[in-house]
Amino acid sequence: MSKNIEPIKLPPKGLAILAVVGPAFVWCAEYIGSGEVILATRTGAILGTGVMWAIVAGIVLKYWIGMSGARYTVCTGEGMIDMFSRMPGPKNWTVWIVLIAQFASAAISIGSLAAAAGVFVNSLVPISRYFGGWLVTIFAVAVVWAGVFDLLKMVMSFFVIIIVLGVVAVAFSVFPNLSALVQSFSMQVPGVPEWALASGVTANPWREILPLIGWSAGGFASQVWYTYWVMGAGYGATAGRNYGQPADLTALQSLTRTSAENIKGWCRVVYADATVAMLIGNVVTVSFLIAGAGILRPNQLAPEGEAVALTLSKIFSSRWGELGGFLFLLSGAAALISTQIGQLAGWPRLLADAFRICIPAFQKKFAWKTQYRLFLLFFLCTNMILVYSFGLKPVFMVKLGALLDGLLLTPLQALCLIIGLYVVMPKLLSPEAREILRPHWIFAVGLFIAFIVFGYFCMVQMPFVF
């Protein structure tokens, strides 16, 4: 029996599950950044709370995607990219699509964070926005390169907590009345007001809504990374395994009933963990939307261009004066930098996995750590170029990154997870384990709805947005 999977540790039960919840917080720390600080606040300022339904729907549907991917990982011990390699059809066709699309998405998304962070840094210290973006990039790459996360995470988390608690407090102070709250879930698409059109906002409201949906609870890559964070936590069949390893097929075919029951218990841990991430994502993103609608919209302010940071800071300064505005700028910069560090930790893993599968010679020639650092150098170069080219258009960059990473491949991801859970995984498991670990039909329903909804966004609305 392979020591990589057997024996499976006993899972916690009852309230003890909360003691091992952890990947959810890594997931949240990675995606609470530009999507919330910039996009949710801007959308609230322009369209009001009437689009709250879009946030909740997007996060709940991505909850099914992320949780389903994590369930597959807990049962097999391999990440989502390896699952993609097992899709029926031409060899590795899904992984090739991911590799090509994610190279572009990664460069633009990480570059958008650097551009936005540069604007925030410029509002705090007297340096140019370009130089601020470059400094953020060099700092983030250096942190990930050296692997010195712990102390920095504590400091960054402190400021992220400040901005989250602050915006929740502001949201409560301007919370919509019951009638407006009910209206916000009516699935209607509000029109862009005249004052926003006069300030340069386009008349198509989907240009604000789609990017917000794209990066609410993270994009395609975030759902892949969640399987990595689950592997790092050692849930179920991932215990004792390393990143970048396909499933141990011999061990899976030999799983006993007892081991399968233990893995099923770890699946319940994943359900709790993913639910925590979903709840945090909804509260935080909706709070930024409400704050934008309650503070910026009455003053006819839409965060844009070089003034995006100072405009956003009015959310805090309207209640706590100059000190509040300063804290927002400082905490916002910390949230963006923290998200960039999280993305620089995640995307090289994703791309290394894709290269390992599509171009095996790459893995044979370079050790995993070397591959990781090569991708970091690539993103260092692309960030420098993108910050210089689009440093004065942070909102444009953030929107583009949200569309490419958050929506472009998400329908394919949902469809592949249906195939992975109901077609691929049963073939990998022993007959006993197959029966015990068969996923409930509700996963298929959630994933199919996600496929239809995100497919509609991509096929019908996104062409007009672009």
Between 70 and 331, whose confidence is greater?
70
Of 11-20, 221-230, 326-335, 448-457, the one with minimum mean pLDDT is 11-20
Per 3-state DSSP, what percentage of the chain is helix, strand, and coil (rounded to 5)?
80, 0, 20
Determine the Cα angle at 26 with ends 23 and 32, to 5°: 135
Tell me if 231 is assigned to some domain: yes
Tell me if 243 is assigned to some domain: yes
Across residues 133-147, what is the average pLDDT? Answer: 90
Positive or negative, the CA dihedral 425, 426, 432, 438 is positive
- Judged against a pLDDT cut of 70, whether residue 151 lies above it is answered with no
Between 16 and 30, whose confidence is greater?
16
Q: What pLDDT was estimated at residue 1?
A: 41
Q: What pLDDT was estimated at residue 342?
A: 83
Q: What pLDDT was estimated at residue 36?
A: 81
- Judged against a pLDDT cut of 80, whether residue 29 lies above it is answered with no
- Judged against a pLDDT cut of 90, whether residue 159 lies above it is answered with no
Residue with tokens 């591959």: 371
Q: Are 11 and 266 in contact (CB under 8 A)?
A: yes
- Judged against a pLDDT cut of 90, whether residue 192 lies above it is answered with yes
Between 388 and 22, whose confidence is greater?
388
Tell me if 8 is assigned to some domain: no
What is the residue-averaged pLDDT of the chain?
90
Q: Are 176 and 157 in contact (CB under 8 A)?
A: no
Tell me if 208 is assigned to some domain: yes
**Rounded Cα gap, residues 300 and 316, in angstroms:** 16
What b/e string do you get for 122-137 counting C-beta neighbours within 10 Å, with b at 16 or more?
Answer: bbeeeeebbebbbbbb
- Centre a 10 Å sphere on the Cβ of residue 264 and count the other Cβ atoms it contains: 19
Q: Are 104 and 82 in contact (CB under 8 A)?
A: no
The amino acid at residue 286 is V
Q: Are 81 and 98 in contact (CB under 8 A)?
A: yes
Across residues 234-247, what is the average pLDDT? Answer: 88
- Judged against a pLDDT cut of 90, whether residue 465 lies above it is answered with no
* 425 band by pLDDT with thresholds 50, 70 and 90: very high
* 435 band by pLDDT with thresholds 50, 70 and 90: very high
Across residues 20-36, what is the average pLDDT? Answer: 73
Q: What is the CA radius of gyration of the chain?
A: 22
Tell me if 343 is assigned to some domain: yes
Q: What pLDDT was estimated at residue 152?
A: 64
Across residues 251-280, what is the average pLDDT? Answer: 93
What contacts 12, CB < 8 A, 6 or more positions away? Answer: 19, 20, 265, 269
* Count of structural domains, the chain: 1
Across residues 203-229, what is the average pLDDT? Answer: 92
**Rounded Cα gap, residues 421 and 112, in angstroms:** 34
- Proportion of the chain above pLDDT 70, given as a percent: 96
Tokens in use for 117? 């962070």
- Judged against a pLDDT cut of 90, whether residue 218 lies above it is answered with no
| DSSP labels, 261-281 | HHHHHHHHHHHHHHHHHHHHH
Tell me if 458 is assigned to some domain: yes
CA distances from 363 to 188, 240, 325, 424 (A): 49, 21, 48, 25
- Judged against a pLDDT cut of 90, whether residue 285 lies above it is answered with yes
Tokens in use for 340? 């960039």
Tell me if 3 is assigned to some domain: no
Across residues 377-382, what is the average pLDDT? Answer: 94
Tell me if 25 is assigned to some domain: yes
Residue 63 is part of a domain; what is its CATH number?
1.20.1740.10
- Judged against a pLDDT cut of 90, whether residue 91 lies above it is answered with yes
Residue with tokens 């171009």: 359
Alpha helices in 234-307 (DSSP H): 249-253, 257-291
Structural domain harbouring 228: 14-465
Q: Are 215 and 44 in contact (CB under 8 A)?
A: no
Q: What pLDDT was estimated at residue 270?
A: 94
Across residues 251-271, what is the average pLDDT? Answer: 94
**Rounded Cα gap, residues 179 and 172, in angstroms:** 16
